[in-house]
């Protein structure tokens, strides 16, 4: 296992010494959560996926989703859209206004409100369009790497990830993250890691595995089975940002303890404070409710506290509940 313990990867001109990525997740990976994940050692973090149409209209809410601090570097901004022209303009604007370390194209979102417009994983139904969009973005931002996060295909009868990967490398994409489920599967069933292995065998750029990583043992299995270059962690990081610190200790042959209830409470309070600072008291406190459920999932009496938290009307009530947990 020594080979993956010493993994370092290069994405374009970007050197990554700890190839464990926090997945872009809508409604989750905002500034507050990215900062916490970075403090626990995440190698690369991403923004929530951002609409290319909103970017080129310079919609204030959209642009606020892209803002980040220097502490968060290396950071990727993930964008989605349906035409090469819109995506090219959006990528250029993101680079000029924010200068992220990389731009990632979303070809993975399976949600109907995104796919029915031809964006997200709908691109998997038209590899020529996917290629055109990717090439346009690459040309728009020549000084930073452009990467892709995609699914395996639209359905089990149309698995296209390997061919798509070959095409994407040809037009200048510098790394591919593959979540080997189909659009139709959404988040059900199992991720087919064999497809990550197949993609890795057919491209020379870094391949980042994603899907069904729940613990340290899964990380070992994915590296061993697929020979991927890095791993992106999504749902396993919900309410669990210290997972990155545990991975790092594991790779260094150090013991890693389960995080205590007191530590969870401290992180939860910090998260709440960051959300309120970023979004204001009303929106920040409301956004924290789902995170609270994730942080304390499985703890005795957590359900009763979760109900109190959901019913809390403001920031001070939430802090009071946390103090009594």
Per the CB < 8 A criterion, the answer to whether 131 and 97 are in contact is: no
pLDDT tier at 4 (50, 70, 90 boundaries)? low
Q: Find all residues with CB under 8 Å of 49, minimum gap 6, and list them.
A: 24, 26, 78, 79, 80, 106, 109
DSSP letter at 210 equals E
Q: Using alpha carbons only, what angle is made at residue 148 by residues 213 and 271, rounded to the nearest 5 degrees?
A: 55
pLDDT above 90 (res 82):
yes
Task: For residue range 93-128, list pLDDT tens digits in order.
Answer: 999 999 999 999 999 989 888 998 888 999 999 999
pLDDT tens-digit series, residues 204-253: 999 999 999 999 999 999 999 999 999 999 999 999 999 999 999 999 88
Check whether 64 has a pLDDT greater than 60.
Answer: yes
Q: The domain spanning residue 266 has which CATH number?
A: 1.10.1200
- Given 222, 251, 280, the domain boundary residue is 251
* Mean of the per-residue pLDDT values of the chain: 93
Total of domains in the chain: 2
Is pLDDT above 60 for 305? yes
pLDDT at 6 over 70: no
Q: Is the pLDDT of residue 269 over 50?
A: yes
pLDDT at 20: 97
* 213 domain-assigned: yes
Can you tell me whether residue 43 is helix, strand or coil? coil
Same domain, 232 and 319: no
Same domain for 312 and 232, yes or no, is no
- β-pair partners for 147: 104, 175
pLDDT value at residue 321: 83
Same domain flag for 181 and 72: yes
Q: Quick one: 161 exposed, middle or buried, by C-beta within 10 A (0-12, 13-18, 19+)? A: buried
pLDDT digits (tens, 9 = 90+) for 29-56: 999 999 999 999 999 999 999 999 999 9
**Which residue out of 109, 128, 228, 268 is catalytically annotated?**
109
Does residue 1 register a pLDDT over 50? no
| Strand segments (E) across the chain | 9-11, 14-16, 20-22, 45-46, 50-51, 75-80, 102-107, 146-153, 175-182, 207-210, 230-233
Q: Tell me if 11 sits within 8 A of 221, measured CB to CB.
A: no
Beta partners for 105?
A: 79, 148
50: closest CA among 3, 99, 103? 103
The pLDDT score that the predictor gives to residue 2 is 46
Structural domain boundaries, residue 291: 261-323
Q: Is the pLDDT of residue 5 over 80?
A: no
According to DSSP, the residues that pair with 10 across neighbouring strands are 15
Structure confidence by residue, pLDDT tens digits, 162-184: 999 999 999 999 999 999 999 99
Cβ-in-10-Å burial (0-12, 13-18, 19+) of 39 comes to middle
What is the Rg, in whole angstroms, of the alpha carbon atoms belonging to the chain? Answer: 19
Question: How large a percentage of the chain has pLDDT more than 70?
Answer: 97
Residues 202 and 237 in one domain: yes
Verify whether residue 128 is a known catalytic residue: no
CATH number for the domain that contains residue 50: 3.20.20.70
Q: Residue 256 falls within a domain, yes or no?
A: no
Of 1-10, 41-50, 130-139, minimum mean pLDDT range: 1-10
């Amino acid at each position: 296992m020594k080979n993956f313990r010493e993994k370092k990867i290069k994405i374009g001109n970007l050197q990554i010494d700890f190839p464990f990525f926090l997945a872009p997740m809508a409604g989750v990976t905002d500034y507050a959560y990215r900062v916490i994940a970075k403090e626990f050692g995440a190698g690369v973090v991403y923004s929530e996926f951002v609409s290319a149409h909103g970017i080129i209209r310079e919609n204030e809410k959209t642009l606020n989703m892209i803002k980040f601090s220097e502490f968060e570097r290396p950071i990727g901004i993930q964008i989605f859209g349906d035409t090469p022209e819109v995506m090219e303009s959006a990528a250029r604007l993101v680079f000029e206004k924010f200068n992220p370390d990389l731009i990632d194209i979303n070809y993975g979102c399976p949600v109907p409100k995104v796919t029915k417009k031809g964006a997200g994983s709908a691109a998997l139904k038209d590899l020529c369009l996917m290629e055109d969009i990717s090439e346009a973005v690459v040309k728009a931002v020549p000084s930073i790497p452009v990467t892709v996060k995609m699914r395996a295909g639209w359905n089990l009868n149309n698995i296209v990830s390997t061919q798509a990967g070959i095409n994407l490398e040809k037009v200048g994409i510098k790394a591919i993250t593959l979540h080997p489920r189909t659009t139709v599967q959404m988040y059900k069933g199992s991720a087919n890691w064999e497809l990550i292995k197949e993609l890795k065998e057919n491209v020379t750029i870094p391949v980042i595995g994603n899907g069904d990583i729940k613990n340290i043992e899964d990380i070992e299995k994915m590296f061993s089975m697929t020979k991927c270059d890095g791993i992106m962690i999504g749902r396993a990081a919900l309410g669990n940002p210290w997972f990155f610190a545990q991975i790092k200790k594991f790779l260094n042959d150090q013991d890693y303890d389960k995080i205590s209830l007191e530590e969870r409470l401290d992180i939860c309070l910090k998260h709440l404070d960051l959300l309120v600072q970023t979004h204001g008291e009303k929106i920040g406190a409301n956004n924290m409710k789902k995170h609270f459920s994730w942080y304390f999932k499985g703890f005795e009496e957590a359900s009763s506290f979760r109900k109190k938290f959901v019913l809390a009307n403001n920031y001070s009530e939430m802090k009071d509940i946390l103090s009594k947990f």
